[in-house]
Each structure stands twice: as C-alpha cells, then as structure tokens.
Amino acid sequence: MEPVWRNTIGDLIHRSARRNPEQVALHFANRRWTYRELDEASNRLARQLLGAGLEKGDRVAAYGRNSDGYLLLWLAAAKAGLVHVPVNYALKGEELAYIIKQSGSRALFCDPGLAAEVEAVRDRLQLEVVGSLRDGEDLDTLRLAQKGPAEPPAVELEDTDLVQLLYTSGTTSAPKGAMMTHRSLIYEYISSIQALDFQGEDVPLHALPLYHSAQMHVFLMPYLILGATNRLLETPDPETILRVVKEEGITSFFAPPTVWISLLNHPAFQVDSLRKGYYGASIMPVPVLEKLRQAAPDLDLYNCFGQSEIGPLATVLRPEAHRDRPDSAGRPVLFVEMRVVDDEMRDVEPGGIGEILYRSPQLCQGYWDKPEETEQAFEEGWFHSGDLARIDEEGYIYIVDRKRDVINTGGVLVASRDVEEAIYPHPAVKEVAVISTPDPKWIEAVTAIVVLKEGEQLEEAELIHFARERLAAHKVPKRVHFLDDLPRNASGKILKRQLREAYAGVKR
C-alpha cells in the first residue's frame, strides 16, 4: 500500500528541505542550520521525545527566550504528534503554574536561567519530563537533536490534529488556551505569504518572542516554508537590531509599535536595506507612523492585525493603502471572512461602530478545557473577537478599542484610542495609555497614564489643556498620572488591566 500523502507542519519543513537542502534556513548566534540539518535534527528530537515516554496528544511546554533549540522543540513536537505549549518567559509563580497546570503539560523545556522558576512551582504540577532548551547536560534539545536516526518518527498524523495551545495575552482576563491544528496554522501561513508579499529571496530578521503567535506563525514559519534564510535574535534589543540590519542586509522585519518607537529614537537609526516593515500587536499612533515613513522613505509598511485565536493574522493594511488610511487596520486576508456587527448581530452601516466577527479555517477549535467560554466565543457560528471597529465603504476597518477598554463616563462612551491620539503629538510625550478609573460623579473617569521623553517635564494641568484643544469636552482626561514605563507583555501590548487595578483606588 502506498503511503498516504499528508500536509502537516512537519511535512512542510521536509518539503522545504527537499527543495533547498543546503540553503541556510536559520542563523542564530554563531550557529547556522541548513534546511536539511533543520529537518533531520527535528526528526531526531521528535524521536527522543517519544522515547522519553511521551505519547501523541501529550502537551509539551516551552519556557524560554528565542533560540535554535526553541525552534527545534516546536518542530519536533509537531512531528511527534505532541501539542506545543509556548509560555511567556516573563511569567513566574502562580502565572507560570496556571498555564502549565491548565494545559496539563507532561513535559517542560526551559532556558537554564529559568530553571529556578520552574522548581519553585514544580510540586503543584504533573511534569514527568523536564529538560533544557539550550546549554543543558542531559535533556537538552540541541544535544537530543544530534542523537539517533534522522528519519521521521512513525506517528500517524492528520492535519486536523491539535498541534499547539496558544494562550491569549490575558490583558483583560485569565489566559485561555486557543486550540490550533496543523490545518488552521497552514491556512494562516498561506494568508500571511499572500497578504505580506513574502518571497524566498527576502532576508528576514526575527527578534520578537517566538512564544508569541505573531513572530512564530505570521513571520518565521511562512518564511521557512518559502526557503528563506532566517536571522533569529534572542531579544529585540534596538542596538542589536540596527547593527544586524546594517551588517547583514536585512530586508524584512516585524515589530510592535513600541519597538519601532525605540528604533526611531535611537541615534544610530539607519535601515537602508529594509524594504518591508511590518507592525502590529498594538495600535501604531499616526504621528509615529508618519515619522517612520519620513525616516525610511523606501520602506513599504504593512499593518498586521488579528489575535491568537485566528493564528493570529486577520487583516492587513498594505503599503499602497497607508497614505490615504494611516489609521486603518486594513482588510481581511485570503482565508478570513469578517463582519462588523451591533449587539443584535446586524451588520453595521459604513461608518458605524460594532464588534468584529470572523469565520475562517484559520480559527482555533475552541479554548482548552473551557467549554462555556468556547460556546460564548463562537456564538451563532461566528468567532466574536471582542474588538470594536468601524468599517468604511470599501471594507477597511478602523479599530476603535477592545470592548473592555471603552470608557463609559457619565453615560457617554469614549474610545481610549481617540484620547491617546490627541495626547501623542505633545512634544514631551513619549507614550500614553488611556484607561477608566472609578469616579463618584462620572462613574468612570477618563484617565491618562503618560511616559515622558527623557529630560522632559510636564504638569498635569498643561497636558489636560493640550487635550482640551483637540477633543470634545467629555473625552478630555479628568486625571493624568506619570510613569517611567508602561506595563506591557513581550508582544508589545500595554497591560491596561494592570493599570486599571493600580489606579482603581487612587483618590484625587
């Protein structure tokens, strides 16, 4: 009987290796992996994971910064039929234990520097295999990937099998594990390649965390499918990024607005080789976008919008649309159907505001071990994103806010982004996040949390006056607080829930 043709993530990597065996697939630190080496090493590691007693469907947690060992574990898990669970390396204590326990992970691989965090919570977990993502002595992914036969493991796989639990950022509630299959991610890869103009000849740089779906699934994996040479950094350090771009002729780069802002403010900002610049994960203030376009006029910009549950790419604002719609998140990608609806599930008219709904083969199969949340999210056959947007006559969407970030002040709804856009142009302001805080008169008060540029000083009254000249009276902040930095997760999203909790009891 002839072998059945499959289309899983491991199969995609194998085909890349067949087409480009000696092409460098990955360059990390001082190591370079050809496509043949990457394919064979991930086969060996997959066999070693199964040999350690893990079985198809078991969850394997990855807790570390970017590395070639991290990528190998992901590919090996996919080939072995295991379910990869990426964990934010900033988590510790109860937050770390929650994801490991909620996912039911039987195995965990971490960076050596994070081993103490694992040991601190290990007694409440069901871990049977604990290894290292790098520089370990025993169960080290790099060492294991060099042992044994290089043939693929004998595991029966379908593209409908679960391959990863993508935990939501948890900016408004406890993280939920979005259940992703091989098929859903492969559809997402094709959408990314088409919408973002990827080519195998590109020289992409990957600096954002691979535990986050954007860097892994919108950029690194599609480029591996195409046969590009991928440059991987451990962390998104601005000085290192600018040096690598210049020295290695990088042509393609993704970062959230916070990183682009850091690059723009760096005295060595020069990105002459870059031709494709991608941003997303949070809203790019229009003034920052204009500054970036002026500083790098040859750089085509793409705004990528979505969320973990859809792989995560849902819409893209392409370069040709940026000039006329710099504040838009674009239109749906190839395999995404989108609606903007009111509370009665009726499509809003152009210019109206509603919640974004999706139907797509890219979507997750629901939330791990959370049937009620799954049923609520997929009400009436559409995925309810929780994002509020308006839509224009040509189908471009404009993100208004997360539902939970809309401020109801005195019975009038205020989108925090409107206020943020009015405050950003102040020459002393580096960053701003607008939230609601409890108020005896207004119930919810519009409150601005501001980070000033280095060396700048600014009084609350002066900034409120600045905002009043640009906003309707009900949108003007009632309060302003100054911080050295805004709390955010590693993907660049500002943690407004944390800010609301911090300032909930502050009296004025």
pLDDT single digits (tens) 439-484: 877 778 899 999 999 999 999 999 999 999 888 788 899 999 999 9
Closest CA to 10 of 221, 231, 241: 221
Superfamily of domain 406-503: ANL, C-terminal domain (3.30.300.30)
Residue 121: phi and psi, rounded to 5, are: -120, 5
Q: Do residues 103 and 368 touch, judged by C-beta distance below 8 A?
A: yes
pLDDT for the residue 171: 46
Show pLDDT as tens, one digit a residue, over the chain (508 residues).
456 789 999 999 999 999 999 999 999 999 999 999 999 999 999 999 999 999 999 999 999 999 999 999 999 999 999 999 999 998 889 889 999 999 999 999 999 999 999 999 999 999 999 999 998 777 899 999 999 999 999 999 999 999 999 998 654 457 899 999 999 999 999 999 999 999 999 999 999 999 999 999 999 999 999 999 999 999 999 999 999 999 999 999 999 888 898 899 899 999 999 999 999 876 677 888 889 999 999 999 999 999 999 999 999 999 999 989 999 999 999 999 999 999 899 999 999 989 999 999 999 999 999 999 999 999 999 999 988 899 999 999 998 877 667 787 866 667 787 788 889 899 999 999 999 898 877 778 899 999 999 999 999 999 999 999 888 788 899 999 999 999 886 566 788 878 888 988 765 5
DSSP 322-338: HTT-TT--BEE-TT-EE
Quote the CA–CA distance of 357 and 10 in Å, as a whole number: 31
Domain boundaries, the chain: 33-157, 204-402, 406-503
**Does the fold of domain 406-503 match that of domain 33-157?**
no
Residue among 105, 114, 159, 147 at smallest CA distance from 132:
114
Q: Which CATH number fits domain 33-157: 2.10.109.10, 3.40.50.720, 3.40.50.980, 3.40.50.1100?
A: 3.40.50.980
What is the C-alpha end-to-end distance of the chain, expressed in Å?
77
Q: What phi-psi label fits residue 177: left (phi over 0), alpha (psi between -120 and 50 degrees) or beta?
A: beta
What pLDDT, on a 0 to 100 scale, did the predictor assign at position 1? 42
In whole angstroms, give the CA distance from residue 430 to residue 434. Answer: 14
Evaluate whether 241 touches 233 at the Cβ level (below 8 Å).
Answer: yes
pTM: 0.84
The pLDDT assigned to 173 comes to 57
The matching CATH number, chosen from 3.60.70.12, 3.90.1490.10, 3.40.50.12780, 3.30.9.100, for 204-402 is: 3.40.50.12780
Q: What whole-number distance in Å separates Cα of residue 47 and Cα of residue 79?
A: 9
Give the bridge partners for 280, in sequence order.
Answer: 304
